[in-house]
Each structure stands twice: as C-alpha cells, then as structure tokens.
Structure 1
Amino acid sequence: MPIAAVEDSRGIHVHNHPMDALTATAAVRGLLTLLHDEAPAAEFEAVVDSVRAAGISPALLTEVDAAYATAMRLRDALREHRRREAELAALNDTIGDLAALRDVDAVLSAIVHRARSLLGSDTAYLSLQDTDAGDTYVRVTAGAVSPRFRQLRMAIGDCIGGLVAERGTPFVTADYFADIGFRHTSRLDEGVGDEGLVAMLAVPLVVDDTVIGVLWASDRRPRVFRPGEVSLLTALAAHASVAIDNANLLAETRSAIAELADAHAGARAHSASIERAAAAHDRFTGLVLAGAGVDDVVRAVGELVGGDASVLLGPDAGSATDATDPDFAAARVQALATGRGARVGNVDVVPVAAGTEWFGVLVRRGESNPPDSTASDMRTLERAAMIVALLLFFRRSADEAEHRLAGELVRDILAAPSRDRRAIGDRAARFGADLNRPHVVVVVQVPGADRSRVASAAWHLAATSGGMAGEIDGGVVLLLPETDPSASARRAATEIGHALGRPATAGAAGPAPDPDAIPDRYAEAGRCVAALRALGRSGEGASADELGFLGVLLADTKDIAGIVHATLGPLLDYDATRGAELTRTAAAYFDSGRSLARTRTVLHVHINTVTQRLDRIASLLGADWREPDRELQIRLALHLRGMLPK
C-alpha cells in the first residue's frame, strides 16, 4: 500500500502507515517480555531504537517512549523489591545463625562478617563499650588490614563511634575526612587513614536502653549509604545486641557453673593431695630409718609420682644437657632462682639443698599420675629432695671423717714410714690401699679453691684408683698404685680441675717401690709442681722425669720469663722489630755442635747467611757469647724459652 507523506508546520514529514500501530503494539509487548525476563537495560533501549528506525508516527513513538520509561521504573522497583527480599532473607538467616551460637567471640565475628556481606562493604567492624576505661574500642573486624586501626579506642563523643555511643542513633558519612558533622581527633583520623576508609555507616548496639557498642560498615571510596541500607544494618544491630546479651549471659552462667565445679574438684583434689602427702611422708621416713640411700629414695619417688626420677649432683648439675633439653634448662634456671621446685613441659626440677649448702637437683620427667596431681606431686618431690639432701649431708659428714683419718695416715707415711710399717700397712688396708705395691706420689695445688672441695675431689680420685689422699701444706697429696707418674699427674690435673671448675696443677714422681721411698718421691713431686707454676704452666700435669734438672733448678724460681729476656733480650727484640730469626739461628747453631754446614741445613739458608747472622748475634750479645760460661747461660735460656707457653 502506498504511503502518503505530508509536511507539518515545522517542515517534518509525518508518515501515516497502516503498520505503525502494529509496530508500536509489538514494541510495548516486547518491553513487557523483557521486563518479565529481567533483561538488562540495553535490551530495552534496543526495542525503542528499532521502533525509531521503523519510522512510525511521532505520536506512536511518544507512546512507545512513555511505555519504555514506565518499564524501566517497574524494572527498578522490581529489582529493589527483590533486593529487599534477599536482604530480609539474609537477615533472617543471620538471626538464626546468631541464635545458634553460644560463644561471645563467635557471635561478634558472625555479626561483622554478615554486616559486610549484607551491605557489600569493604570492611565491617564492631566496637564495644569499656565501662572501666569510659571509652569504646574496636573488638572484632572483617576486611580490615591495619593493626593500628584494629587497636583504636574512642572516647565518648569523639568522632563517629563516640558520637553514636553517646546519642544512640545511626550516623552516615559519604566522606569521613570531609565531614564536619562530628568532632575529629588526630589519633582516630590517623587510624582511619591508615586503613584507607572513606565512607562510613555506624549504628548503635542497644541492650535495655543502654548502648553497649557500635556496628560499622565502611568503604575505601566515597559512597552514599541508602536509607534501606541504614535500616538493614540497624535491624541487624538490634538482633546482634540480643545475641550478644544472650551470649554474655550464657558465658556468665557457664563461668559460675565452672567455678562451682572447680571448687568441688579442688576440695576433692586437696583431700587426695593430703592422702598422697601422708603416704609419701610415711614412705620416706621408713626408708631413712631403714638406712636406705639416695638411690632408694629416687626409686620411691618414681613409684609415688610416676615418671623417671634422678638426682644430678654438683654446682653445675645438668648444665651439659641444657642445649639439648630446653624444658629442663628452663625449669633448672627457675628452680635455681627461686630455690623451689619448677615444672616446664613434662620436666620437674627441684633443688637439693640443706640450708645454704647446695648439692644438686632432683629431676622427674613424665606426666603426673594421676594427671591432675601436679601440685601434690611437686610437694612430694620437694619433700624427697629434702630427704636426699639430708642423706647427702650425713654421707658427706661420714666421708669427711674418713678423709681426715686418711689424711692423718698420709702425713704419718710422709713423716716416718718405717716407724711402724705393719701398723701403717694395716691402717692403709682399711681404706682399701696396699702399700706393698709401687705407688706414684702426686702433689696437686689449686690456688684460691675451697680446701675442703679440693680434698674431696682428690679423695674421690684416690678412692676410685685404690689409693689414698690427704691435705699437706696447703695442697693435696695422692698416693696412687700406678707406675706412670706422667699419666698420673695429667689425670689428676684434668679430673680435679674439672671437678672444681678451675685450673689444677699436678706434679708427680715415682713410682716408690715401698713406703720408705714415698717421702723422697713426695719431695720430687713438690719440686715438680713448683717448677710447673714457675714456668707459667698452671693447670697442667707433669712428672719430675719430664722436667729433668729444670725441676730442681726452677722449683723456687718465679720469674722464668724475666730470666729468659735478661739473657736473650737483644736477640728477641731484634727479631720482633725486624722479622729476623737470630734467636732461632743461635739455637740451631748450638744444637748443631757449632757446625756452620749443619746449621745451614737445619735453617735451609746459604752458609753466608748463617755467617752474617752469627756476626749480628755477636754484635748484640757481645763477642764472648760463644765462650763456655756464656754459652751455657744462653743455651739454658734458649731451652727455658722453648718450655714457656707459646
């Protein structure tokens, strides 16, 4: 059908086509279909564009545009309605979840996570009132990354949180730092800035008309929170307040029940503890009366309290295991500091002491048996440690008496061994010694050490070797049934020094074939130890045979280094300042029998170099340095220098 065209008063061509009405009707029906299918806005616009492209009449196009506008409003209304339905459903789910929670921390965490989810915010957090401090503090967060922000506290009336807590009404800001509707503080602004927050919505948590905290939703960009979102967070806050109050009441009830249960359990445990303590007391008393030893008490400890028990003796007892057993190390330090038992992990350490006398520690490893008897077990361990200390004290007193008798015997042997050899032999036999065997005489000196501890260490070494020991002239003398004086001296210096924690110097001589030879060997051993100290070799052990004539020569000499420097000083100084080897050349020359050829070979230098060095030595020491008297003095000084510590 032909289309008639007319021109209106504005010069616009208006087409009247029979299909215009059908096109417009189809367009409206299409908009309704898109509305039903929840299509995106672009598809609505495409329908209108197709109608315009069809060239329908302006009047019908106006109707289509009106239908498009109405459809878009209906679309927004439906979307808002569905959003509200989703929010209400989520809110109902949240209410159900909160009602199922019983732990306060779990309730608070669920609240902030649901708030963040419902509002789609970057962060959500909850602050609570601190009635003691008179302010509010951030208790739990979701989405926050700044530790500084999570530790914020707000005074009542300060910033948004303080204002909401004071007024009990919601507060909304699209831009925190630009908003002047509340009182800013530098500390809170810095914390908010550290987290990067901009838009904030805060609603009060109210219980019985009292604000107990504030629930927040915040974004890191400007955002205008809609009234519906404010209402949603307010509704969540109302339910959250009830959940928090219920959780608090439940926690208080549980705490009260737990306190009653603890009191009842404590009474039963106390009664059981008294019974266990009485049993332990009876057991330890019976052991002491029966003449039991430390090992018997330790076994009883294991039977009474379970675990593995042991006693470590000495001032540094157990220090060697500190690096491999940190629990023991920590318990040991605590016990030493307090003087009481200490438990770290599964290790108990209790000091073993009598008054100010420290013997060591009692150690128990393992769980208490039963598990809730830790306190009573510690009292049992402390009682056992006291019993062990008394036994050790008694044993030490007996040992000291035996040591005194042994010391008297040693002094008698050194004074007049042949006066009554049979009686001396019988006395020695009572200490397990056989004077018919050859004996090495060892003299040990430990300057500054406690004499009783030195004597005890020496007696222990002698007793374990089948010998005897005694205090003589400020030192200790050991008579050991051995044949190698050098080995005996080194062992005595090492073991006694280790026991005392300081250097012990030991000189030995022998072996003495019979008691009559012991006094002479004692004199040699004394000169040997004096020579060692004169040489600056304190803390070492040597025999008279090792030192030879030096032991005799140096027994009463103190300044060996001074003697060496007085003789060889010019050579030593020349070598030190010029990096020469004149001292070594002189020693090689004498040791080679004054042979230039052999000296050259020893030093690995040309023979002319040897000649030049000998001339330099003569210019420093004098032309008579090779004369017999000077040679002996120089050679002795060279020998002494070689024996001094490097």
Structure 2
Amino acid sequence: MHTVLDLLRLLADRTDEGVGSDAPGDDLERTAAELAASQPEAGALALRIRAAMDAGRRRESELAALVEIARDLTSEPDSGSVHDAIVRRARALLGTDLAYLTLYDAERGDTYMRVTSGSVSRRFQSLRLPLGAGLGGLVAASRTPHWTGRYAGDGRYRHTTEIDTAVAEEGIVAICGTPLLVADEFVGVLFAANRSARPFGPDDVALLGSLAALAAVSIVQTRRLADTATALDALRGAHAAIAEAADAHDRFAGVVLEGGDVADIAEALGRLLGGWVTVLDLDGTPTARHGPVPDDLDTTAALRRAGRETGDLGGRPVAVPCAGGAWVIAVIAGGQRLGTLLLGGIGGPGAGTDGELSAAQIRTVERAGMVTALVMLFTQRADETDRLDRADALDELLAAVGPPRPAALTRVSGLGISARRPHVLLVCRCAPGRRRAVAREAAALGGRSGLVGERDGAVVALLPGDDPGASGARLARPASTQDPDGAVTVGAAGPFRPADGTDAALAEARRSVEALVALDRVGEAAAASDLGFAGLLLGERPDVAGYVTGILGPVAEHDERRGSELVRTLEAYYAAGASPTRAAATLHVHVNTVAQRLERVGTLLGPGWQEPDRSLEVQLALRLHRLGGQGRER
C-alpha cells in the first residue's frame, strides 16, 4: 500500500528529473490512483501539484522556443529548410513523439506529406490525404482544428485503408491537427502526434494553432520571396528601394534574434531614418522612444488617425502622415491592435521635404511595424499568461483562512515567491478605469517576486519587504485637476510571512484603506501604525507601546535624560482644561515654570502639537502611558 510519503518522493523525483523526464510520472499517477482509494484528497493533490509543475516548466520553455522558431524561419535559405524547422520546433515545443506538415495541392485537391520529424514509416512519410478523409483531411476540409486521444476507432473521422495502414505502421495513437491559414488562403495542416494515448488539451491545441499561424505566414512569405528573388536578379538596379527595405527588415530581424525588445527596434528605425521614434501602448503611454521626441506631440490625435486609417484598410498596418510632420502606423498582429508607432524629424537618404517619406522609407516603417507587432505579441502573451498565473495564485492565498495549503505554497514558490520571508500586502482603491494601470504599476514594483490581482473591486498586491507604509506610498496618488478620477488610495499591512496566512493582513489593509477614505485622506497610503489612534482600532495586533513612543517618545526621553517632569506637566495641563495657571497650582510650581516646560514640549513635539487633532493624539498617548506605568507597578 502506497503512502503519502511515496507520493512526496515521486514528486521530488519529478522535480529533480526536469522537464524532459516522464520516468517518475507514470509511477506518480499509479501511486496517486492507489492512494486515492483510501485518501482521495492526497491522490488528487499530488496530481494537481505535478500538473502545476509541468505547466510552469512548459510556459518557461515556450517563449524561448518561439524565439528559436523565429530564428530558424528567418535564417533558413529555402522553403525546404523552413518546413524542416517548423516541424522540428513544433515537436520540441509540444513535447510529442512526432510532428509533421502537409501542404495543399490545389491541382489535385488534396494534401500531401511534405516533411516529418520523429517518423519511422516510409508509407506514412509519403501519405496523401484527400479532403475530408481522416483527421487531417477533415482539418483541411473544415479549416478548423481537430484532435483525438485515440485515432483508431474514433467514429468522428472517415477512415480509409491507406490512411489507417500508414497510421498503424507509424504507431500513432493520439493526433492533433490545425490548419495553416493566411487570410483566406489555405496552405496546409500542421500536426503533432503521440504513439500513446496521451490526450491533447486546449492549451496544446492553442499553442499548435499559434505555431501554425506563424508557419503559414513563413511558408507564404518564403514562397513569395522565392518568386520575387528571380525578378530581383534581373531588376536589381531598378529596385534599389526594395533592396533598402529588405535590408531594413534584416536589421529588425537581427535585433529580435539578438534578444532585442521594442526599444531596440525603435532605436534601429530611428537610426535608419535619421529621426525620432516613439512606441505607445494601447493606453497611449510611451513604452519606448529614440531621439528628440517633441514635448508637444499630440498623441491623442495620432492614435485616432492610426485607428481610422487602419479601419479603412481592413486592419492592414500602413504608415500615414499626421500633424506636425509626424508619421503614424498602427501595430497590429492577428487583427489585434497592440499599440502605435510614431516617428518624425526624418532626414535620412531619400527623404522628401517637410518630413515626407520616400516609398522605400514607408516600406521600412511598415516592416518595423510588423516586427514590433511580433515582439509585442510574444511579450503580451507571455506577460498575460504570467499575470493570470500570479493573480490566480494570489487569489488562492487570500482565500485561505489561516496558513495556506501546501499546494498553494508550492505554486507561489514556482512563481518566485519566498513565502517564508517578510512581505507586505497592499489594497489599492481607485476608479474602475484606473485599475489596470495600478495593477501594472504594482506588478512592476514587485517584479518577479510579487503577486498582483483584483479582489472585491480593489487591486491587491503582495510584495516582498518589511515597510508597508513605504511600499504603499509608491502606489498612492492624489487626484488632480487634469485627472479627477486618478486618485489611488492604499491601505497597507505587514510585514508578515505568507506561509503563515494572509487573511489577517488582508483584513487590516482593507480597514486601513477604508479609514483613509473615511478620514478624507483619499490619495494617500497608510498602514494601521500610520493612522494614529485610528490605527489602534484597525490594526490586527495594536502596538500600544509603539504608539505611545511615536507620540511622546521625545518628551519621555528628555525626562529620563534630564530628570525633568515634562510628561507630568502635560498630564496636569490637560487635566486642568489646558490652563497653565491651574496646572501650576496642581504641580505646586510657578505658572512661569509651567509655561517654560510647555515651551520645551513644543520644541520636542514640533509645531502644531496643540492643534485639535494632535492634541487628541497626545492626550490619548498620555492615558496609555499612565496605564502602562500602572501595569508595570502592579
């Protein structure tokens, strides 16, 4: 009989083996299944942990694999090499036994096997698939993805002897196929397959679809480049502009393949054209810039112009002129608007007067827009996946009462969170339209070591650190006349260890932000300890001694150091209704002595200590100081 300890050993083995090993995976499933009979939750929890580890590793490798695919597709000299790169990378990225690519034959009206990776059967490698026959033929006919965990006997597909024989000879059990489409043009089908009954999930299908989209564009572009190359050989002198644009494309591709980002593309474009460049996100916020971008640039009008021109042209990115001699191009990928590229001050070779662009320069700008879109798409998908993972992990931590489950701690550990180190929790209240921007700022503040999400209409951030007030102050923002809805009010709690639970910190941070709003301190940040006597009521663990020291510390230290009686004088002063004369009588000293002592108190506490709010704080601190002293005497 297997035990939970057996499961833990297998999970440890799974972690040590790494992504490429499935050796302990089957043992883990069998052990979990056996244990589930007596301890269902333990078996299910082990499988969930394994799934989370596998998913995390897979996400880490996907972006690197996509960059490798881009490198292959841009560096291979001919279509055959491109096809080989596509199936080789598809197999590696999805971790399947084999991958293969069929191309559409318009003359015969079917698809034929073009290239395989991991295949051993010659019959399979020479297979042709009539439209509608088999899984691949159905993908080609319907132009939609199809997948099955066990192809043989799956009644959804029209089986033929030729196809079934080739599939059986290859030993294929599970298949996933997705069409290669560029606009309305059908190119072929990209497949991933396994020789065991391992079903394909939605993530696998979506990832293969993304690869298929990239592959289809690459195949079509390779074909077109091959067709164009012949003409360029005869017309090279007359088509210098095209050569110039191609050179720009190579430069941009080189920037990407060397690990460059949007800022590097903006710099390369600016240097090519001899002008300034700025890249804006969907909110119109600059994410990259090169050169002297004008301070008075009307980005709002430029964004409207880019959106209007792109809509008129059916979503095709195109460079269009706008006010002030600037040019604008929408950054689009897959029909999705990702941002905007603005440039101006052009002075490179071939530039016209008054900022006009030559035909070659326009093509260069449009190619820059395409490469920028590709980089932003990859970055956006990676960031969105990571954002969702972190938001889900934070939600799981916040939902726990007391210490979170081990599975939750394992999950956050995989995201780079040290749950046993000090953290602070921030609850940020702002207008609904500001939440996305605040979440983005909080994520940037925490980096890879923080978690950010939304909960009950507020942005919640778990950040490493031991100073909640300072962390909250970096996100707080008062409203302004230009942006009356831009206020961000932050309640903070901590430090605490997430491994010990987050519910108390969440409750305290919520109470703090609500207190700030109630005290008409919108746009500020504070922890319970920063809210004075209000913090004593709001804090999960009221720090009375800290409060007293924070208010009366300088006065008490003066008494201890000089042997004076400033604290006693303050008590008598307030007990006498703030009358120095009656206080002097109580203390049996001259009224001038009381006045001198109060003047010293004012020096120690700072100006305004007798204002109503400060005076209330001082009186409460005196009461608590007296209670503390009586407690010590007893």
Indicate the structure (1 or 2) with the bigger Cα radius of gyration: 1
Question: Same fold, TM exceeding 0.5?
Answer: no
Which of the five TM-score ranges fits, normalised by the shorter chain?
Answer: 0.3 to 0.5
TM-score (norm 1): 0.39
TM-score (norm 2): 0.40
